[in-house]
Every structure is written in structure tokens, then in C-alpha cells.
């Protein structure tokens, strides 16, 4: 082939290659965005176990909401913000429940929400993940980690686990009321959260 013929062919190849490089990442298929989820409170529960006067006791929060994102291929990027109405605490006794919202305990008038923020998930095998996050109660924030079980369906997800919380870290019940009722410092918060994927 003569030099005159080779020149147009080479020019066409160079032009095509340059166009491809100039287009860069924008011409490549975009990675799938992480899925957004909302907690379905009607299908979820947040309970807790504690010791009262040396005896096992149980409580529950009835009002909460939450949103987050999750990508099964990149669990480290998962997020969740769960907001719990502190005044919705139920200690299976109306007087005790009302007292739990007082200034010495959850101080619901000043701090109406308990907030949990998931910062990342670390895969531990199968449906098990370590959840690293932070918990805010009465304006005090502490890091917290636990192992959860997470099962993902087509349009819903189910997360279950237990958070071990030392109530004294948040100054819950640290005051004169301790003379009248003995509440153990360790509280085990059990959560059963169902979330729906956003359309």
C-alpha cells in the first residue's frame, strides 16, 4: 500500500481513538446507585431489656422513623439515620413510663429524639454484618458497634440485632431518683427493623 493510501487510514484510526479518550468516563455505563430505604415502623419493633430492683424488666419505643442507603456490593458505604421519639417509651406501667420522660431520665421536653446513625457495615459472612455507628441521647453522642443479621428481598429488608448500652454514659437516671428505684446500668436494646426500598 502506498504512503498516500496509508495516511487517510491512519488519520481515521487516530481520530476515532482520540474521540473515545476524550469522551472518557462519561461514555461508560454508570455504576448502579445505592438503593434508598425507609423504615416501616408498623412492621418494626424497638424493645429493651434492663434490671429494675434486681428483677428483669422490658420496655419498648412505639414511635420512630428512619431512612438510609445500602448497596450489597459495597456495605461499607451503608448509612441509616433512625430517630426515636423518646416520649413514646413504654415501661408496661403508665406512671413509670411518664417518669422516664422526665428531666432526670430522657428529658423528652428538651431532647425529644434519640438518634442512631449507622456509619458503615462490615461483612462478617452470610447475612451477618458488624454495624458501626453512633448513638445520641440527651444531646450526648457515643460510638457503638454490634453484629446484626440483615436479609434483603426484592423490595424489603429485615435487620435484627441487639445494642448493649450503658445508660450512665448518657446520664440517664443519674440523680436523686436512684434512691427510690434501682435500675441496672446495662440496657440491651433489641431491634427488629423492616425497611422498604424507595421506588
Q: Three-class SS of residue 73?
A: coil
Opening angle at CA 93, ends 88 and 95, nearest 5 = 85
pLDDT higher than threshold 90 for residue 131 = yes
Residue bearing the bigger pLDDT, 76 or 121: 121
Cβ burial 68-85 (10 Å sphere, 16+ → b, else e): bebeeeebeebbbebbbb
pLDDT higher than threshold 80 for residue 17 = no
Rounded to two decimals, the pTM is: 0.81
**pLDDT, mean over the chain:** 86
pLDDT higher than threshold 70 for residue 26 = no
**Local confidence band at 32 (pLDDT 50, 70, 90 cut-offs):** low
pLDDT of res. 148: 97
CATH T-level fold of 33-197: Lipocalin (2.40.128)
Q: Dihedral of the CA atoms 121, 122, 124, 125 (nearest 10)?
A: 70
**Cα separation of 15 and 8, whole Å?**
10
**Local confidence band at 8 (pLDDT 50, 70, 90 cut-offs):** very low
**Per-residue pLDDT tens over the stretch 56-67:** 999 999 999 999
Q: 158 exposed, middle or buried (CB, 10 Å; 0-12, 13-18, 19+)?
A: middle
The full set of domain ranges for the chain reads 1-30, 33-197
- The mean pLDDT value for 151-158 works out to 90
Residue 72 grid cell: 450489597
Q: Which candidate, 117, 164, 118, 127, places its Cα nearest to that of 148?
A: 127
Amino acid at each position: 500500500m502506498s504512503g498516500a493510501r496509508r495516511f487517510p487510514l491512519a488519520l481515521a484510526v487516530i481520530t476515532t481513538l482520540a474521540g473515545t479518550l476524550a469522551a472518557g468516563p462519561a461514555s461508560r455505563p454508570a455504576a448502579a446507585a445505592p438503593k434508598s430505604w425507609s423504615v416501616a415502623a408498623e412492621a418494626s419493633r424497638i424493645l429493651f431489656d434492663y434490671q429494675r430492683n434486681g428483677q428483669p424488666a422490658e420496655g419498648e419505643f412505639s414511635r420512630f422513623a428512619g431512612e438510609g442507603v445500602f448497596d450489597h456490593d459495597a456495605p461499607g458505604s451503608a448509612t441509616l439515620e433512625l430517630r426515636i421519639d423518646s416520649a413514646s417509651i413504654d415501661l408496661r406501667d403508665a406512671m413509670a413510663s411518664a417518669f422516664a420522660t422526665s428531666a432526670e431520665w430522657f428529658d423528652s421536653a428538651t431532647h425529644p429524639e434519640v438518634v442512631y446513625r449507622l456509619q458503615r457495615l462490615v461483612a462478617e459472612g452470610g447475612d451477618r454484618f458488624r454495624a458501626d455507628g453512633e448513638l445520641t441521647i440527651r444531646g450526648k453522642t457515643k460510638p457503638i458497634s454490634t453484629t446484626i443479621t440483615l436479609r434483603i428481598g426484592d423490595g424489603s429488608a429485615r435487620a435484627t440485632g441487639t445494642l448493649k448500652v450503658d445508660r450512665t454514659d448518657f446520664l440517664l437516671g443519674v440523680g436523686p431518683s436512684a434512691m427510690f428505684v434501682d435500675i441496672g446500668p446495662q440496657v440491651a436494646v433489641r431491634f427488629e427493623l423492616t425497611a422498604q426500598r424507595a421506588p
